[in-house]
Structure 1
């Protein structure tokens, strides 16, 4: 349930996600002296919010004298209020129809005080797939930019001609071995002026691979108009003094676990176990024997990589855990496939084709948890044009896997940082599964083209992977990376590149694309490094170098 924010007559009404527990409440001014996460505040009106903030800024705190310094307003509260007011006042910017209801989902705080306020919408009471957007503000609440993928105001007949039962049958036929299927949900797809469709989630196995397939069936014609799979796999189907945990890839390490189980007490949700989902336990907290076929050792590698990734996200990118709100996800080992995947709830790791190593190298673990990060940033992992967003998702996994390697910075005899993916595992006996600085070396495209939406998702990771290396290292860096337009790109370093990439994801929408990523990362560079044009210019040059040209509405550096 949500509480409407009163707005002037003729303007859109904005709603905010309410607390899931307890009865609905009226919307009073936020209590001073308390810190309440914005995501769980009941919304208040734009005028009321301004009044509340004015009181908070002028009235002394309880028990204080009139000369006491007033408490500084929470930047998330300021961001939510100003973003709500912008959305209510500018329906044309956000493509808002009279039948739309705009719902504020939450506020994500990031580097340099930037705040990202995410919204979803319904139309005539139906959820809108692709109608989401993000408003970015500074710490004072001033709106800096918007990320809106919907191109037109919705205007459609919401009466279905196809029954839910017919849609369910059509959807289930897309999976060879169905384990479960959700009830079809009548949905508006934000395509042009709108398309009415049923969305069904079918879980099972298809072509010997786990699947959690979202199927959209046109509610007028009964045809399948879009699918996407929540299961994201790593490859196409086919040193402290107290260190005492023996890994395969990283030597003897010291992972954080409970006294007798492979669960991290310091990083919520991070744990490791077998295919039954049970966390491995022991008589003490000394784990692994260093063997490439031992599953407890595989968990040592997985835990070590996940903990490094968690710390990298915090220290380099300003993100709180894998999910952005202080949480991580379970990991499973022992999958009897030459593969690894994220299924929307946990990551799962197999072994290489030779059966000599587990698929728990640092960049692969970083990659799979990268899918979790992609899914839990605004816009999620669904949507996009064909395989384009899926390719960007795969690329995000590669980028996070690379970032964690550079953060860990291991020596040459272990797993040193590089821009190759899976080279330590040798998944199918041919070395790395992707080359980020020159994707074409392994048969993937270096450059964006109109064929990317029809390209297999792992291959479609090529252009953004290439962009990231060019941004971090430059075209003449180490390694040297070719450009698609024969230009020269100046690198800005991997930490800055990672910050800009993460800030771009904080503006992601359902209809994500390379063009949208370019605009988002240009805005991110300007807002992260306001006193310098170098970072912004390099972002633009790197995108141009992979054939993603300047976009309408893109700011100047």
Structure 2
């Protein structure tokens, strides 16, 4: 949480603690080894793939790749999402997703960017001019962010200013992201974060049993879920009996809203293996009493109005689940922005409708209430004409059934038609029987459905692969990939996905896999995993593979070095899983002494595997063993375990923008050069915009092979905070080896204003001599709301 108020508190001295943690003696009976976290396994495998295949991710030398998190899906599939920066600037459209199974085999990638970036980052238009142009896009402006230089991943790149303008657009609430060309001053893209749709007594669902606190309409079991009025304040009462069943009572509207979102939350977990609305165990508030014939999601909360007759609030199951469906769309990779005209916006609206249908089917209410169907808003009767959309026959309400080149220029709610139609055909088929409506196809084909639960799993898996440049064509490709990987060896689901897309005129795509493919898998390992060589010399290792699933497959071997210099060959270069190869790492004369990470890629027909080899060049005498000044990419990994919880202020390598508050320095310029490892490089509009908020953030060095002898680790560091900090907030640096961990810096915060100042830590790490180690940096805002900043620079290990 952003907190700038200086809190009066007694001064507490903060001290530097250097401690050596030694392993505890083994007990009589060793505990069973913990099963590796699939998210951590996926993150490590995906990171290695990014290192091994820079061309596949359109990576240019000035790019910095940032892993944003791992989402677990049905069937053990893991979706690792990434963003990138270019010369320190954020890249809009530079995102991508790497898909793995639970054991780390890379099954596929979804990349938004089409080519490497090569663009000037010097603006010709002033930020003030960009701000004025952006504000002019709204009818009424309430607030505008400072313009931020950004690179659009459009061709070789376009330098733009992004400004977020909040206010009113043609009488509707808006939170508009406007991109102004930094060379011409013209608007090149914009998108609106506000997405609209048209014992407890509910109006739509009878007497229901909600999960609420004793005296407030907040859900103790589902983080972030609560309901109240237009001020944002949660409704309260003397007990936990809510509502009177009236269509005009706002407390009753909250009963319906909470009932619906609780069912949606449970459906996501039970059917789709998603944790909460945001995929990370969290949700968002709901507001009722909007004085409008409407309901919308504004990027932070859902808001519900009433029907035109004023007899009902717009809080039926499908409408509520629709609006929270926009939150799901926003919190899956690629977010809500981008796309081709209104095409992605239409798919966002369709996503809301699909989650509405899924939630109705999961709740399975009887006919007297809000029973499962594929109509949208029929219970609300928003404008007196019954449903506002029809998923099995969109044309019945004037929306397109079929995809065409006109969809990107179609109004977003109408543009929901093709994907809504596809989902119905996939779930139920064109002639489902059993009282369910028939659905016309655009190619006169007959489609057999696979059931709404499987259809939902495939749709959710497609969203987990979503990127900024989302379209019906990409959705077809990724849902086909999901069907193949989620239901390996079965052609039924895959064929149904293809048939349903073809039935709405979205044709087969390049690279689309064949149906019924068996998910063959293999393991890949190196022996040894590290070695050393002098410039002009070489070293060898054995690459071993085993077939771990299905049948044996061909595996092509290749490798990359970070930093560059050493070259790698394999004999043989292509093997069948179960066979081995000899890897030779050659070190050209003139190669600098130091540590090099060799990432080995096994490119299989059905899956890809990676492994790393640590090469030490030189290092037999004294001098520098490892150095990272962060001026170039040192190969450090942010959130290495995939378990960081900080919402902002995550560690990144970048150019820090100094910040202060009332004379207290918080974020500093780099200790040397221009870049360092810092908790959110951007200054934002106030000191607390990009400080650490909401938990922990971590970063980890590549593996460093240490020689024998006397070894010293040194680095520059600072920790700055206001007096609203506590001892729960900290900066910590550890050296982690195969046999133990040394904490070399443990700086706790305290309830005083501490002005950041660069300091140098120097620690003897000779106990790790001869081992491969990693340096791990952690920082936290782990107590209440506080303002905490930290930085690391000039990391060096020397031998004397």
Post-superposition offset of 1:531:
2.9
CA distance in 1, matches of 2:514, 2:85: 34
Render the CA deviation track for 1:161-214: whole Å, top value 9, x for unaligned.
Answer: 111100000000001110000011111111111111111000011111110001
Which residue number in structure 2 is paired with residue 329 of structure 1? 284
- 1:108 matched to 2:63? The reply is no
Alignment of 1:464-503 (within 5 A): 464-477=419-432, 478-503=436-461
Tell me the distance in 2 between the aligned counterparts of 1:97 and 1:65.
Answer: 53
CA apart distance, 1:528: 1.1
Of 322, 343, 347, 2:302 maps to 347
1:546 maps onto 2:546 in alignment:
no
Q: 1:36-75 deviations in whole A, cap 9, x for unaligned? A: xxxxxxxxxxxxxxxxxxxxxxxx9973579865332221
Structure 1 CA distance, aligned partners of 2:24 and 2:320?
A: 48
TM-score by length of 2: 0.61
Q: What secondary structure sits across from 2:65 in the alignment? A: strand
- Counterparts of 1:149-168 in structure 2, within 5 Å, are 149-168=112-131
Structure 1: gaps (5+ residues): 1-30, 32-59, 236-243
Structure with more helix by fraction: 1
Counterpart for residue 129 of structure 1: 92
Q: Which residue of 1 aligns with 2:350?
A: 395
Moved over 6 A (4+): 65-68
Structure 1 distance, partners of 2:393, 2:195, is: 23
Cα separation, 1, equivalents of 2:244 and 2:512: 53
1-structure distance, mates of 2:500, 2:166: 39
CA contact (8 A) 1:312 1:407 kept: yes
The answer to whether the 8 A contact 1:215-1:228 is kept is yes
Give 3-state SS (helix, strand or coil) of 1:200's partner.
Answer: strand
**In 2: Cα distance, 1:382 partner to 1:150 partner:** 14
Per the alignment, do residues 181 and 62 of structure 1 end up closer, same or farther by CA in structure 2, a change over 3 Å counting? farther
**Paired residue for 1:208?**
171
* Distance in 2 (alpha carbons) for counterparts of 1:525 and 1:258: 40
Aligned match of 2:757: none
Query: Which structure would you say has the larger Rg?
Result: 2
Q: Aligned partners of 2:213 and 2:248: how far apart in 1?
A: 24
CA gap 1:163/1:496 in 2 versus in 1, 3 angstroms: same
Aligned equivalent of 1:217: 180
Of 130, 138, 144, 1:175 maps to 138
1:278 and 2:233 aligned: yes
* Superimposed CA distance per residue, residues 224-248 of structure 1 (whole angstroms, 9 cap, x where no aligned partner): 111100000012xxxxxxxx11110
Structure 1 residue 513 and structure 2 residue 476: aligned? no
Alpha-carbon separation, structure 2, partners of 1:112 and 1:213: 37
Q: Distance in 2 between matches of 1:71 and 1:62?
A: 18
Taking the aligned partners of 1:216 and 1:416, their CA distance within structure 2 comes to: 43
Contact 1:61-1:71 at 8 Å conserved across structures: no
Given that 1:435 and 1:441 are in contact with CA atoms closer than 8 Å, whether structure 2 keeps it comes out as yes
Alignment partner for residue 453 of structure 1, among 408, 412, 418? 408
Structure 2: unaligned runs, 5 residues or longer:
1-20, 516-800
Is residue 188 of structure 1 aligned with residue 155 of structure 2?
Answer: no
Q: 1:549 to 1:245 in 2, by over 3 A?
A: same
CA distance in 1, matches of 2:352, 2:146: 31
CA contact (8 A) 1:484 1:545 kept: yes
C-alpha distance after superposition, 1:488-510 (max 9, x if no partner): 11100000000000111111111
1:87 paired with 2:45, answer: no
Deviation by residue 1:452-505 (Cα, 9 ceiling, x = unmatched): 111111111111000000000011122211111111111000000000001111
Higher relative CO (Cα under 8 Å, sequence separation at least 6) belongs to 2
Secondary structure of 2:55's aligned partner? coil
Aligned residue among 369, 391, 414 for 2:369: 414
* 2:57 partner SS: coil
Q: Aligned partners of 2:222 and 2:242: how far apart in 1? A: 18
**Deviation of the 1:126 alpha carbon:** 1.0
Answer yes or no: is the 8 Å Cα contact 1:137–1:145 preserved in 2: yes
1:78 to partner: Cα distance: 1.3
- Structure 1 residues 65, 524: closer, same or farther in 2, change over 3 A? farther
